[in-house]
Amino acid sequence: MSPLAVRNLNKSFKALQVLKDVSLEVQDEERHVVIGPNGAGKTTLFNCIMGTIPLTSGEVLLDGRNVGTLPTHARVPLGMSRTFQKNNLFESLTVEENVHLAIEARKPYRFGLFKPLSWRADLLEESEELLRRWDLWGRRERKVRELSYGEQRLLEVLLALASKPRMLLLDEPTSGMSPAETAQTIGLIQELPRSLTLLVVEHDMEVVFAIADRITVLHHGEVFLSGPPEEVRGDERVREIYFGGGARHDA
């Protein structure tokens, strides 16, 4: 059974149909990347899968269970987590405080109001482990707004991992990063345990072919092609609609 399956998903905004009968499966331990030209519907697909926006019709199956009508907060305990195309961080808090809040959200003491988080040894240990792994330990006391944009993108991935998901959705994880930050992020994604299944939207072809086990191409809201990287790379139709038409731009 696929950990994530999308069946005949449609999404319309009034008269505008953005997604048309989209179906795809993400296999266990797979790194599945969704690509497509500007306006193909990639982020809308992510939002539907995660419950950020409602489906018009179709199904989203998580381990065989239809979660298509569940709100986002009900999908996270089932093992789903995501990042956003634009940073979704508490900029007035420190890096460490952001991580504390993300970890606390899955702890049984999250509703405790009378004991400071600094007393929770398990929370502090998990925070340090995550921050060191993502090379942000040295910046733990910095306000998020003081970080570079690339560092903020890294922090958002870290916060998504804090919920310990089984299925992680990464929306443009390297968007706005410098070449050095992009290379670092590729390395970190490659080092993630295979027990973590990934569905990724990405516009940078270097990143796509560095991490993808399988690629799905969206075009005009429909699945145009889905296959291994070598098949997608060699498809002349894909080159015509995507690679030859501004492959480094997205929406």
DSSP string, 66-106: E-TTS-HHHHGGGTEEE--SS----TTSBHHHHHHHHHHTT
- What the chain holds in terms of domains, given with CATH numbers, is 1-79+165-251 (3.40.50.300), 90-164 (no CATH)
Please give the pLDDT value at position 37.
Answer: 87
User: Is 90 exceeded by the pLDDT of residue 227?
Assistant: yes
> Which pTM does this prediction carry?
0.83
Please give the pLDDT value at position 244.
Answer: 59
Percent of the chain with pLDDT over 70: 89
The strand pairing partners of 26, in sequence order, are 4
